[in-house]
Amino acid sequence: MLNEESDKDEVFLKHKGKRIWPQKGKYHAMGSNERTQIDVVFDHNPAQGLAVELWDWDLLTPNDLIGTFQMHVNADDYGKFTTTLRVATSGSTASYLLEWEIAEA
């Protein structure tokens, strides 16, 4: 995942309402143009869409949904892909890319 913003965000990922990353700690601080390895594996039918939410952790207020990564591929597609974050709030300047892979079982 790549953060293209100018300051650090305190982020975490959720899938189907459950926090999936980071494994340790409440969040991962990401700075501008910083890359981080996520290493989350899904047992998922690639013909169905997969959504992963990116959240901003807040200490004193409710956490904020930054946006969603929507992954759609054909059942026969394997390999590496990149998905751009769909921001949750109109006018948001958040900019993240998620690089992911579908491997044959």
Of 66, 35, 72, 38, nearest to 53 by C-alpha is 66
Residue 102's pLDDT band, with cuts at 50, 70 and 90, is: confident
Q: How many domains are there within the chain? A: 1
What range defines the domain where residue 10 resides?
2-41+49-102
pTM of the model: 0.85
Summarised one tens digit per residue, pLDDT across range 2-32 is 554 446 889 999 999 999 999 999 999 998 8
